[in-house]
Amino acid sequence: MDRVIKPTQPVMPQYDRYIREIKDIWDTKVLTNNGNKVCKLQHDICNYMNCKNSDLFVNGHSALIIAIRALNLKGEVLTSPFTFVSTTNAIVQNGLTPVFCDIDDSYNIDVSKLEGKITDNTCAIITPHIFGIPCKVKEIERLALKYNLKVIYDGAQAFGTKIDGKHIGAYGDITMFSLHAIKVYNSIEGGLLVYSNDKLHESFELYRNFGISYDEDKNDVIVCGINAKMNEFQAAMGILGLEIVEDEIGVRKKLASIYIDRLSKIDGIDTYPYEDGIDYNYAYFPIRIKQEKVGFDRDTLFLRLKERGIITRKLYDTLSCDYSYYKEGRYKMDVEYARKISKEALDLPLYGGLQISDIEHVCDTIMAICKEESNVK
């Protein structure tokens, strides 16, 4: 095996820049509890996204748990099964009941099926912008207004995505972003909530710091909170990452265009039909393998590529509703198309550290596998 192409790689600033950025932490001796760097990063993110409010957390999952908890939701939540299990876990950990709605060809929740699932018990729509591809936010907003539902977007993979020039965090009541190491933009680990209602900040602050309310005379615990504070070293990485995130997205876009051009020549290997008016962040590069056309399935391509040193990912080949815990819960689910896509989708390597020659090598290898498999058949 001549070389191995990994599926992803963290985006990191120059080493010397990070060392300079964290140097003053030794002067302040402030490591956590809303230090200067956390406050600066929150301010910088608001400027970057042109949003009113942002709050930082130790990771994306704790941020999503707190976002749901702060809205005091009760009842059923419409959600997508085609997602990392964090989305579903956060719903259930807040005592809510997930109702799994099918997806469409965007890999996101099928808005045409949402209204038929709304009942008197429905309180919210909590769903991801999967692969950084935005949901049909305008249709979801229309339904939310009509039925008085809250909308929380799991934007874990969507940092940097825009619709008509507007950052994706502008939609819904709250959007959560994961700043995990392998995301387009990271703070080593981290979570972010973006929102327009100023009153939510106090709740977020309470829930991420054990529920403690500080008073001049007496500290009190007024909600059951957790420890979800971001530390200064994470924030320092985030500060520098903001300076290079647009460059990273730009490189990924160029590499994605090569994938699209080269793979369009293979009947049965479908790339995502990127739309005008949306600035994608190219967090992932999903393809679908149509067995009836290429003569082999997704798992075969996954293995053949792996044998040649190209590591891909079968993301969400198990729907969250099909894991043992949720399957045994007998939750409502309409997921037939999601199950089909989960057996066809494959995520190809895409990150700024790849070379054009790497992308061409992946495409050439896929073409060669298609020829080999057709000869075998």
Q: What is the pTM of this model?
A: 0.96
Structure confidence at residue 330 as a pLDDT band (50, 70, 90):
confident
Residue 135 clears pLDDT 60, i.e. is over it: yes
Residue 1 clears pLDDT 70, i.e. is over it: no
**What does the mean pLDDT of the chain come to?**
96
Which H/E stretch holds residue 46? helix 36-49
**pLDDT for the residue numbered 126:** 98
Rounded CA separation 335/353 (Å) = 36
Rounded CA separation 339/341 (Å) = 6
**pLDDT for the residue numbered 375:** 66
Residue 242: C-alpha distances to residues 62, 103, 110, 171, 313 (Å):
22, 32, 32, 21, 27
Residue 331 clears pLDDT 90, i.e. is over it: yes
Rounded CA separation 2/326 (Å) = 42
How many residues make up the chain in this entry? 377
Rounded CA separation 166/151 (Å) = 18
The pLDDT tens digits for 150-201 are 999 999 999 999 999 999 999 999 999 999 999 999 999 999 999 999 999 9
Superfamily covering domain 244-376: Aspartate Aminotransferase, domain 1 (3.90.1150.10)
| 159 SS3 class | coil
Domain boundaries, the chain: 15-241, 244-376
**pLDDT for the residue numbered 2:** 67
- CATH fold of 15-241: Aspartate Aminotransferase; domain 2 (3.40.640)
Which DSSP symbol is given to 348? E
